[in-house]
Structure 1
Amino acid sequence: MEMSIKSDAVPASDKGFYKLSWTQRIGFGSGDLAQNLIYQTISMYLLFFYTNVYGLDPGVAAIMFLIVRIVDVIWDPLVGTFVDKHDPKLGKYRAYLILGGVPLTGFAILCFWNGFSGSLLYAYITYVGLSMCYTLVNVPYGALNASLTRDTNEITILTSVRMFMANVGGLAVGMGLPIVVKLFDPSETSDLSSSDSAWFITMTIYGLVGLALLIFCFTQCRERVVMDKSETENVKVSDLWLEFVRNKPLRILAFFFITAFAMMAIGNSAGAYYINYNLSGTAGELSIFMGLGSIPAFIFMPMIPAIKRKVGKKGMFYIFLITAIIGMAMLYVISMVDSLKEHMMLVYIAQFVKSTGVIVATGYMWALVPEVISYGEYTHGRRISGIVNALTGIFYKAGMALGGVVPGLVLAFVDFNKDAAQQTPFAQQGILWLVAVIPAILLLLAMFIISKYDLDDERIDQINKEIEMKHNNQ
């Protein structure tokens, strides 16, 4: 079978195994950087904005987060089906970077406008609108990865670049946003700003920069591994369920997504509360703490191809998931001992260890999406990238739903009071559950799930070669 792609027959680049330039790789990764300027802001700070600036009760906000995710469950497969069935002039998948990117930017900015302070209706309209537009960008963007090349090594490099760029976005939000908000805060408070105009101006800046990056991503991506129009005519929403049933690796990946994103969303949304109320930290200390959620990416993401070659796919997941759990345990112990939590450097070290594990394990999972797409094409003959990304989108947004609902419910349960400068010990313990305990439990579940994934690089390479042989023999 190895002889089926001999160089004296047809060049590998003509058989779907394309190599990309570094400009193209960075261009593709800039799309995730753009989305993270919005997604990470929503994940880390929207609940804080709603409770401490906009004036919503934590329980009410939690219910809204759940309802928005329910809307996503309906919307995502519709978007995935539509994307697979249609071929816009601007590109099958990349077109939506523009078509969805413009309204996404608008809704993101409006989510942080306080013109209708306390209005639940306005919050619902803007947040639902943002979520729907995010899907309109994110599902095609996810499919775009699999349309650029079949080459497994290239996909690994692409994913490393993508996650590196995504974490640049995470750093810009986690470390940069508190600083930028502070610049526009006329009250000059020492903690995270409650100035509505400061939040609005900051989100406007982040949104417009994100839109410019989406446009750059659009200019650098070329779609060369896609279905013919004749093959897309019969794509329908029910294909999502069929693909889920007959594609075991996809099912495993989908459940990994829900646990991974729930873990990240819960931990991220609790960060501002943790620094403010458990450690009595400043905006600068919050900036460092949140920034450490992304900094490890710049050290470890470039090393992923080498690490994977050394210990294998599963070995890499196990090593870094365990690293994340160790970091969370460190955070918990430090936070429970008064003499330790006074030393912010210890908190920073624990956050760095935790983030190192989270970033690598959750970053590399995106490289598995093109694999399950190819597996589906191999087993039933159709490369329905939009459907597959819609399905993974449903599960990671289900994780995001947990990330939005669980913190609000926990804060309500422990009687969190946004007006109190000092929270009760029970409320502080609830915040600590969100920062360390619940995410660690979810990571243990994620380790069990990924242990069932059985597509190694050799099998995927063989599958892709056989698919290309079939295409070239037709």
Structure 2
Amino acid sequence: MGLWRQRIGYGSSDFACNLIWQMISLYLLYFYTNVMHLNAGAVSIMFLVTKFIDGVSDLIVGYLIDKTNTRWGKSRPWILFGAVPFGVTAVLAFSVPDIGQTGMLIYAYVTYILLSTSYTIVNIPMASILPALSENPHERTVLASCRTFFSSVGSTVVSAFALTLVDKFGNGNEALGFRIVMIIFGVIGCLVFFFCFFNTKERVMVQAEKVSLKANISCLLHNGPWKLFALNIVWFFGGYVIQASAVIYYFTYVVQNVAMVQIVATITTLVPIVTNLLAPFFVKLTSKRNLMIGGSAVHAGGLLIIFFGSTNVPVLIGGAVIAAAGYGLKGSMHFAMQPDPVDYGEWKSGVNTAGTLSAVNGFIGKVGMAIASSIGAALLQFGGFDAVLSVQSATAQSYITTMYIWVPIVMNIATIITMMFYNLDKIYPQIIKELDERRAA
């Protein structure tokens, strides 16, 4: 199987994921409250409750992947058999029947839990399969960059076309429009997951260990590089979520230029595609850790340019491009670094915990996003934000600026400090050499 065939096959999986996940992130809350007219407070509680269930499913799926041992490998079967349920549950989530407030809320609970579980079944293997696709550190960086590239393409498709398609197919009926769009995206997503399955191969075969979940968690807790990586997951996803949620507020109420919302959102999606393509070349010049630190510094610098740019459109666009480039570099390194602590753990303890580690990473990411979302909502409330007002108070604008500029900058500084203690890159070649010798024996 050719290298580029596998790279494209692996990367395409995140295109499929983001066709649906980006719809969930951007429009599911809007669909529940504005299209189906569910109570916003009840929906908020639903999202909170389902996070706990989602976290448990992450751990279970990760543990089961570690115990899977088939002729297709450990992770690939989950991608194959999870494709159809993911597409079907996505359609069901955007097809709420008009059966009264209580009935619709119960339906939303059930379908959202099923959708979140289906997402876990296809998403966790996407992370756990990377160490098995290649043991070459550079090739892993290329594979991770391909995944991030296709992720950005999927997000861009949704951001650019989803609402237009909803209007076209719904013809004034948003509920119908969302349902048809999700059917289209669901079918495309399923086909792309099948493409991923048939165009990847788990080359680095590790004998499945009969190790309990408790023992797996114990191995992770004694994995120093992973603990630093896990801490950085909070900074990485937390900073992203709070900044993304604040874009519309910052440029509408602080910059007072509504047109900039879509421009900056597009820049934020497109520029990382270029950065991802360049990441494999950058990593040859230095280490993944250094690129994560550099990307964080560039991201923070871009946000400062936006802040000092005030309402100057060219400066704002320049700052957005720089910030997006830094974020793209961070994103590439995040996925490229993720399999390295797996190898370190196997080298140190003799146990490969790719599935469990990927599951725990996913859970930590969701915790980080949940905390960030709560902080964002709290800042709006404490700042006295009033959606009815077209011009917000100085206090509200200050809190919105904190959301979009200062909290993400603090998260970037936290990443830089955390990564200063991450030294796995230095000993990684020796770890791979010794693991190869053990596997050969």
TM-score of the pair, normalised by structure 1: 0.83
Q: Is the 8 A contact 2:152 2:272 kept in 1?
A: yes
2:331 aligned with 1:362, yes or no?
yes
* Structure with higher RCO (Cα < 8 A, 6+ apart): 1
Q: Is the 8 A contact 1:107 1:130 kept in 2?
A: yes
Q: How does 1:260-299 map to 2 (within 5 A)?
A: 260-274=236-250, 286-299=261-274
Which region of structure 1 is more displaced relative to structure 2, 211-220 or 266-275? Answer: 266-275
**Is the partner of 1:292 in helix, strand or coil?**
helix
Q: 1:243 aligns with which of 201, 212, 219?
A: 219
2:439 aligned with 1:464, yes or no?
no
Equivalent residue, structure 2, for 1:21 = 3
2:279 aligned with 1:304, yes or no?
yes
Q: Is the 8 A contact 1:226 1:383 kept in 2?
A: no
In 2, Cα distance between equivalents of 1:417 and 1:123: 28
- Tell me the alpha carbon deviations over residues 199-257 of structure 1, each in whole angstroms, 9 at most, x when there is no partner: 333333223222221111011011122322xx43x222213421221101111111111
| Letter of the structure 2 residue corresponding to residue 157 of structure 1 | V
**Is the partner of 2:62 in helix, strand or coil?**
helix
In 1, Cα distance between equivalents of 2:322 and 2:14: 24
1:31: how far off? 0.7
Q: Provide structure 1 residue ranges, at least 5 long, that are not aligned to the other structure.
A: 1-18, 188-193
Equivalent residue, structure 2, for 1:227 = 206
1:143: how far off? 1.0
Equivalent residue, structure 1, for 2:345 = 376
Instruction: Provide closer, same or farther for how the CA distance between residues 170 and 63 of structure 1 changes in structure 2, counting only shifts above 3 A.
Output: same
Equivalent residue, structure 2, for 1:435 = 404
Q: 1:209 aligns with which of 182, 185, 188?
A: 188
Q: 2:160 aligns with which of 156, 172, 175?
A: 175
Q: Is the 8 A contact 1:107 1:126 kept in 2?
A: yes
| Letter of the structure 1 residue corresponding to residue 212 of structure 2 | K
In 1, Cα distance between equivalents of 2:413 and 2:41: 27
Equivalent residue, structure 2, for 1:16 = none
**Is the partner of 2:339 in helix, strand or coil?**
helix
1:287: how far off? 4.1
Q: CA RMSD, aligned part only?
A: 2.8
Equivalent residue, structure 2, for 1:83 = 65
Q: 1:331 aligns with which of 306, 309, 312?
A: 306
| Letter of the structure 1 residue corresponding to residue 267 of structure 2 | L
Instruction: Provide closer, same or farther for how the CA distance between residues 184 and 288 of structure 1 changes in structure 2, counting only shifts above 3 A.
Output: farther
1:430: how far off? 4.5
1:376: how far off? 0.8
Q: 1:32 aligns with which of 3, 11, 14?
A: 14
Q: Is the 8 A contact 2:72 2:202 kept in 1?
A: no
**Is the partner of 1:317 in helix, strand or coil?**
helix
Q: Is the 8 A contact 1:148 1:225 kept in 2?
A: yes
In 1, Cα distance between equivalents of 2:183 and 2:389: 29
Instruction: Provide closer, same or farther for how the CA distance between residues 20 and 432 of structure 1 changes in structure 2, counting only shifts above 3 A.
Output: farther
- Tell me the alpha carbon deviations over residues 13-43 of structure 1, each in whole angstroms, 9 at most, x when there is no partner: xxxxxx9521111011001111122223323
In 2, Cα distance between equivalents of 1:445 and 1:97: 34
Equivalent residue, structure 2, for 1:131 = 116
In 2, Cα distance between equivalents of 1:350 and 1:197: 39
2:281 aligned with 1:318, yes or no?
no
Instruction: Provide closer, same or farther for how the CA distance between residues 109 and 70 of structure 1 changes in structure 2, counting only shifts above 3 A.
Output: same
Q: Is the 8 A contact 1:328 1:354 kept in 2?
A: yes
Instruction: Provide closer, same or farther for how the CA distance between residues 424 and 404 of structure 1 changes in structure 2, counting only shifts above 3 A.
Output: same
Q: Is the 8 A contact 1:44 1:268 kept in 2?
A: no
In 2, Cα distance between equivalents of 1:399 and 1:128: 19
1:103: how far off? 1.6
| Letter of the structure 2 residue corresponding to residue 244 of structure 1 | L
Aligned-pair identity in percent equals 28
**Is the partner of 2:291 in helix, strand or coil?**
helix
**Is the partner of 2:74 in helix, strand or coil?**
coil
Q: How does 1:90-105 map to 2 (within 5 A)?
A: 90-105=72-87
2:367 aligned with 1:398, yes or no?
yes
2:119 aligned with 1:144, yes or no?
no
Instruction: Provide closer, same or farther for how the CA distance between residues 374 and 299 of structure 1 changes in structure 2, counting only shifts above 3 A.
Output: same
Instruction: Provide closer, same or farther for how the CA distance between residues 36 and 455 of structure 1 changes in structure 2, counting only shifts above 3 A.
Output: same
2:235 aligned with 1:259, yes or no?
yes
Instruction: Provide closer, same or farther for how the CA distance between residues 331 and 197 of structure 1 changes in structure 2, counting only shifts above 3 A.
Output: farther
- Tell me the alpha carbon deviations over residues 129-155 of structure 1, each in whole angstroms, 9 at most, x when there is no partner: 222111111111211111111111111
Q: Is the 8 A contact 2:251 2:261 kept in 1?
A: yes
Q: 1:454 aligns with which of 418, 423, 432?
A: 423
Which region of structure 1 is more displaced relative to structure 2, 304-313 or 444-453? Answer: 304-313
Q: Provide structure 2 residue ranges, at least 5 long, that are not aligned to the other structure.
A: none
2:35 aligned with 1:67, yes or no?
no
**Is the partner of 1:175 in helix, strand or coil?**
helix
**Is the partner of 2:75 in helix, strand or coil?**
coil
In 2, Cα distance between equivalents of 1:51 and 1:281: 26
In 2, Cα distance between equivalents of 1:353 and 1:376: 36
